[in-house]
Amino acid sequence: MTETLADTAAGPLEHPMPRAAGCPFDPPPALMALQTDSPISRVRIWDGTSPWLITRHDHLRTLLGDPRVSADPTRPGYPHRTAGMKASDQARQTFLTMDDPEHARLRRMVTAPFAVKKVEALRPSVQKIVDDLIDGMLAGPKPVDLVEAFALPVPSLVICELLGVPYEDHDLFQRNTKVVVRRTSTSEEVLAAQRELADYLDDLLTVKRARPADDLLSVLATERVATGEMTQRHAAETGVLLLAAGHETTANMIALGTLALLRNPDQLALLRDAEDPKTVAGAVEELLRYLNITHSGRRRVALEDIEVGGEVIRAGDGIIFANDIANRDPEAFPEPDRLDISRDARRHVAFGYGVHQCLGQPLARLELQVVYSTLYSRIPTLALATGFDQVEFKHDGIVYGVYELPVTW
């Protein structure tokens, strides 16, 4: 038998690890190689523990759909992303970090506004947000940082509208969200940032309860907190989760996706000339597959011994699901390293898989469809205003992306 990469003399590979120089869209080559050599193997993470890394698309879906796999970070063996996340996950729990039936009970309280038709009804207001921001860019100086001027405000404005959070306060929640998703933040910093966000939303819930409006926080305040189904603190923490998840992820998809399209002008031209909304929708799925901004993976812990792919994952073992690598699995996507907006990429796992699959995905899809179908048609000469090798990538982020994207036209 040939020796696998994972049990060479050097011991398990580190996770996460840097990507190859010059190839910022592709997962790290050594981790990619695991998919063929040793698809279920141990990796070493920041705290010295060695959870399993799942890299194949079929294994990932099987295990993430398995109720013997727990999302509860308070269980021993759970592979935390960072010291900061460990502290915050243990300090407070939302449905994201619970198992069924509690997870299902709490998640059901916030699913209504994310139904496809309700999200679709927001299309005109999302279009207006996007158009106004582009007007602002075109009227202002160039070059401009696309992250600051466009990528971050779009999802931020949208999620604020949906939750009923005044956008004027965006400094407060963007500053704190940045701390939460930065891999180098200390536990104290993350806890303080989270507390500030939760206090802010707690106060807002009190206001909404007295004067409800047509938004999700008002629904939580009047229908869940007032009835005792949820504590106000839990509602506030759920609000923090939706607010943070709603803007960091989509913002990175917008900026990194723009860079990927600028690097693939043939694909950009296809998208720009697309008249059928299906082409745009397909392009969004492909960009979600190809970019995989959730490069720190989904984290779980086994509740029982589970046999999969010839290995036995023991009860109490930590598991990391490498969505980014699974989305490059040639068994699921032929020629996976090619960005091809005309392929059928719907089976991607960028939103995860199983009962925890992203709740906001219809909203993310809508925002990305409006952005990608509007940005390049309104600014056809959009171009990078700096060298590609000057762009700084969020290698240290829990969510991958670029820090800044200077563009001109």
Partner 1 sequence: MRVEVDQPKCVASGQCVLIAPEVFDQDDDGFVELLTDRPEPGQYDGVKESAVVCPAAAIRLAED
Binding footprint of partner 1 on the chain (CB under 8 A): 65, 104, 107-108, 111-112, 114-117, 119, 281, 346-347, 351-359, 361-362, 365
- Do 77 and 319 contact (CB within 8 A), yes or no? no
If the CB atoms of residues 108 and 338 are measured against partner 1, the closer one turns out to be 108
Secondary structure class of 145 (helix, strand, coil): strand
- Least CB distance from residue 349 to partner 1, whole Å? 9
If the CB atoms of residues 104 and 138 are measured against partner 1, the closer one turns out to be 104
- Do 353 and 291 contact (CB within 8 A), yes or no? no
If the CB atoms of residues 127 and 361 are measured against partner 1, the closer one turns out to be 361
- Do 89 and 73 contact (CB within 8 A), yes or no? yes
- Least CB distance from residue 292 to partner 1, whole Å? 17
If the CB atoms of residues 29 and 277 are measured against partner 1, the closer one turns out to be 277
- Least CB distance from residue 114 to partner 1, whole Å? 6
Quick one: residue 292, left, alpha or beta (phi over 0 = left, psi -120 to 50 = alpha)?
left
If the CB atoms of residues 253 and 281 are measured against partner 1, the closer one turns out to be 281
Q: From 243, 256, 244, 288, select the one nearest 147 (Cα to Cα).
A: 256
- Least CB distance from residue 121 to partner 1, whole Å? 13
Q: Is the peptide bond before 155 cis (omega within 30 degrees of 0)?
A: no
If the CB atoms of residues 116 and 269 are measured against partner 1, the closer one turns out to be 116
Measure the CA–CA gap between 143 and 256, rounded to whole angstroms: 17
- Least CB distance from residue 299 to partner 1, whole Å? 17
Beta bridge partners of 311: 308
Hey, what are 152's tokens? 């971050």
Contacts of 191 (CB under 8 A, 6+ apart): 84, 87, 88, 91
DSSP assignment of 125-136, as one string? Answer: HHHHHHHHHHHH
- Least CB distance from residue 328 to partner 1, whole Å? 18
- Do 72 and 97 contact (CB within 8 A), yes or no? yes
- Least CB distance from residue 356 to partner 1, whole Å? 8
Measure the CA–CA gap between 341 and 270, rounded to whole angstroms: 8
Element (H, E) at 33: helix 29-37
If the CB atoms of residues 239 and 397 are measured against partner 1, the closer one turns out to be 239
